[in-house]
Structure 1
Amino acid sequence: MKKISVIIPCYNVEKEIDRCIQSLVDQTILLSQMELIFVDDASEDATMEKLSKWEEQYPESILVIHCEENGKQGTARNIGMQYATGEYIGFVDSDDYVEPEMYQKMCRIADQEQVDVVGCLYVREAENGSVVMDAQEREDAGRSIRINSEEDRKRLMTVGLPGGVWSAIYRREILMDHQLWFPEKIRYEDNYWGAFLLHAISGYYIINKPFYHYVVHDSSTIMQKDSMHHLDRLVIELMKVEEYERRGLLEKYHDEIEMGFLQLYFINTIRILFVRFREIPYDIIYTMQDNVKELFPDYQKNPYLEKLPQLQRELLKMVEIPLDKEKIDILAQGYRKVLRDWQKENGMLG
């Protein structure tokens, strides 16, 4: 058995893939202890050719799987997990890269502390290598956190884990025992997977160091303008509510699930609609208002609301406001101005 299996979905990343792979084969953990599983998601450029060359160079540690049909990251990750044999599983996005000591330190801590997840901080970078956002340190870092009670689980649901699925390693046995698979052929699949991971683990450890480099490209999924795939996040959140109910979790963790829904379904989506769309899909906002009030009619009583930042509370007020296109445009212009001012204050604009 390998110590760790790292799964890397790849789609049209011929320009970035060499840097990603080099950072993985340069890990301080012995390469013989690693299983690097690259899933080519029907790339249309030279990605597959590059992957094949790396596989030829490291046949004992690199496995390349080619998909004839594009199934998006969720499908690619699921395929990779089915091939994984490592004690731990990690994920890396193919246009990102990692620090050399990342997996050695994570695996060592996972063994020593006997936790199901070991995470780290991350740095958000532009394509030119400049730092867009520094690592955000965590108060719960540097020690094992055990989930021994319902209250512990609630706290975990409210603070979450740092970064994305890519900034941690997971005990493979836990993923398999709880059948933690990603939704397929849809974006924002990690929002779904990460939510149910929190209900599977009994403990975690966060390293207060940025081992992961998350690179933002103008053409990346999260940056694309006027793309309807941003609305996949709405479908994912509705899927989560349905699955919470199926698993009998909705009543037990009602306030936490409700708060997560308000943030991810409504507040964060409103932000994306205001920033990523030149022409806002107004009907979507009306549907969002209706769904919040239908699924969580008493959401205004949620005890976590008072902990929201002021701007998020203001955006949430839109649920109750009768909106026409003119009002939505005014609100969007106001939000963009606030965002630009904040970016300028924090040195994120030239």
Structure 2
Amino acid sequence: MGDFISSNVKVSVVVPVYNVEKYLRKSLDSLINQTLKDIEIICVNDGSTDNSLAILEEYALKDNRIKIITKENGGLSSARNAGMKHITGEYTSFIDSDDWVETDAFELLFRFSKLKDLDILMFPFKFYDEDTSEVYQTQYNSLEVIDSKFNEEIFTYIDVKDVLFKIAHSPVNKLYKTSYLNDINAHFEEGLNYEDIAFFFPTFLNAKKVSICRKSFYFYRIRDKSISTTGDEGSYDIFKILTIFLNVMKEKDLFKELKQDILMYLIVNIKFVYIRLNEQYRNDYFKLISEYYEKFDLNQVDKECLKKWHFDDRVFYEAISKSNNGVEFELRYKMLYYEFLSYHYENLYNDTKSENERLLNDLNQLQSKNADFPNKIKNIFKK
């Protein structure tokens, strides 16, 4: 399809590929059928051992906008970095090879980014549950935390500092200006899971022109064997990633200003990983929590701020400081968790009981008044 070649590539799409033969065709179809034709699709075969490479070669024969880069398996970050070295487009997008996008996505995103000369354009995305075929959004991936006054307006992180740690970190729901990524030497941390955190904050905090488009273009597949749902020793990487995150916060002089929010963010992420861990790894994970407790200044959480945390994050944090090992932590965490729920529902029961008693009293008073009503009517007619 030579007519697709353009000397002016508008959007470069980086697609890491590793053993996704079951999903790859749907992903590629959504890209080659984009209404914006001036794109390049950079597929990085990261040492696949299934038929993924054969599928890529099949599609490349039909569409010369597809570039195939084959390398030894190095993980998601390594594949994305390899793809970034071959980008020629004005804007850059990252698509995971088991996901897919609406066919008008890049046309609309590019047009708006070009009009505003944006560094980053963010947009909501949808989760697709492979087991149930359910498509849904949460507050996280819908970007509801960002005020509607910023819709299609230019802003920076300074304008959204109050929700900075609630914005979706994933690079797949953002279109980046390529020259901007080059200027800040943007890259993914190789050999580590949870790399999105380490990529999001440097790119977002340095951007001078950010905007948001409220249309959902991206479908993010949730499947059992994806990186985001595994709970093995690779989960320990979260501590290295959070160390990088803290260094970025300090470099931008944000640590002191946002300290309590940052400490809560650390606990939220540490807990997020913990509850997804297979039990055999939890004891070693707690050892890492203990090791990083003071390194991360987690001993400096303000008591008044702690009261405002979600109860699950709060009891998780409180269990850490009261435990000496992983087994004790697990027991304390569960104990504090159920203790809170017990107290909460006991109060809820008492409040409900009191409200029912009040309503019953009101009902009895009303019935008493209504019981005398016929006699009052008779007296009126007699008069």
Normalising by the smaller structure, the TM-score range is 0.7 to 0.9
Whichever residue aligns with residue 41 of structure 1, its letter is D
Higher Rg: 2
Structure 1 residue runs without a partner (length 5+): 339-350
Aligned length: 326
Change (3 A) 1:270 1:323: farther
Q: Which residue of 1 aligns with 2:202?
A: 196
Higher helix share: 2
Partner of 1:85 in structure 2?
88
Indicate if the aligned counterparts of 2:169 and 2:197 stay in contact, CA closer than 8 A: no
Q: 85-94 or 235-244, which moves further after superposition? A: 235-244
Cα deviation code 1:311-335 (max 9, x no counterpart): 2222222342224444333356579
Give the structure 2 partner of residue 73 of structure 1: 76
Q: Tell me, yes or no, if structure 1 residue 144 matches structure 2 residue 148.
A: no
Structure with bigger RCO (C-alpha 8 Å, 6+ apart) = 1
Q: TM-score scaled to structure 1, two decimals?
A: 0.83
Residue 261 (structure 2) aligns with: 259
**Structure 1 residues 332 and 146, CA, compared in 2 at 3 Å: closer, same or farther?**
same
Cα displacement (A) at 1:220: 1.0
Cα distance per residue 1:56-106 (max 9 Å; x no partner): 1111x1111000x21111111111111101110000000011111211111
Tell me which residue corresponds to 1:318: 319
Q: Compared with structure 1, are the counterparts of its residues 294 and 114 closer, same or farther at alpha carbon in structure 2 (3 Å cutoff)?
A: same
Deviation at 1:235, TM superposition (A): 1.4
Match of 2:44 in 1: 39
Q: In the alignment, what sits opposite 1:288?
A: 289
> How do 1:116-265 and structure 2 match up within 5 A?
116-128=119-131, 130-131=133-134, 133-134=136-137, 136=139, 137=142, 138=144, 139-141=146-148, 142-147=151-156, 151-152=158-159, 154-155=161-162, 157-160=164-167, 162=168, 164-225=170-231, 227-242=232-247, 244-245=249-250, 248-249=251-252, 251-256=253-258, 259-260=261-262, 262-264=264-266
Q: Which residue matches 1:62?
A: 66
The 1:153/1:92 distance shift into structure 2, 3 A limit, reads same
Report the AA paired with residue 62 of structure 1.
I
Q: Report the AA paired with residue 66 of structure 1.
A: T
Distance in 2 (CA, whole Å) between partners of 1:177 and 1:257 is 28
Residue type matched to 1:22 in 2?
D
Amino acid in structure 1 at the alignment position of 2:258: E
Identity of aligned residues (%): 23
Q: CA deviation at 1:46?
A: 0.9
Q: Is the 8 A contact 1:123 1:131 kept in 2?
A: no
**Segments of 4+ moved more than 6 angstroms:** 334-338
Q: Describe the shift of the 1:107–1:336 C-alpha distance in structure 2 as closer, same or farther (beyond 3 A).
A: farther
The separation in 1 between residues aligned to 2:238 and 2:334, in whole angstroms, is 23
Do the aligned residues in 2 keep the contact of 1:157 with 1:198 (CA within 8 Å)? no
RMSD: 2.7
Q: Distance in 1 between matches of 2:33 and 2:245?
A: 38
C-alpha distance in 2 between matches for 1:335 and 1:130: 36
Q: Does structure 1 conserve the Cα–Cα contact (< 8 Å) formed by 2:315 and 2:336? A: no
The structural deviation recorded for 1:174 is: 0.7
CA contact (8 A) 1:153 1:198 kept: no
Deviation, structure 1 residue 132: 5.7
Q: What does the per-residue CA deviation read over 1:153-185, in whole Å, with 9 as the maximum and x for residues that have no partner?
A: 74463443x361101100111100000111112
Q: Which residue of 1 aligns with 2:374?
A: none
Distance 1:28 1:129, change over 3 A: farther
Aligned-pair CA distance for 1:270: 2.5
Normalised by the length of structure 2, the TM-score is: 0.77
- Residues 1:268 and 2:277 are matched in the alignment: no
Give the unaligned 5+ runs of structure 2: 1-7, 340-383
In 2, Cα distance between equivalents of 1:302 and 1:27: 52
Q: Who is 1:299 aligned against?
A: 300
Amino acid at match of 1:143: E
Cα 1:302–1:277 shift into 2, 3 Å? same
Report the residue type matching 2:261 in the other structure.
Answer: M
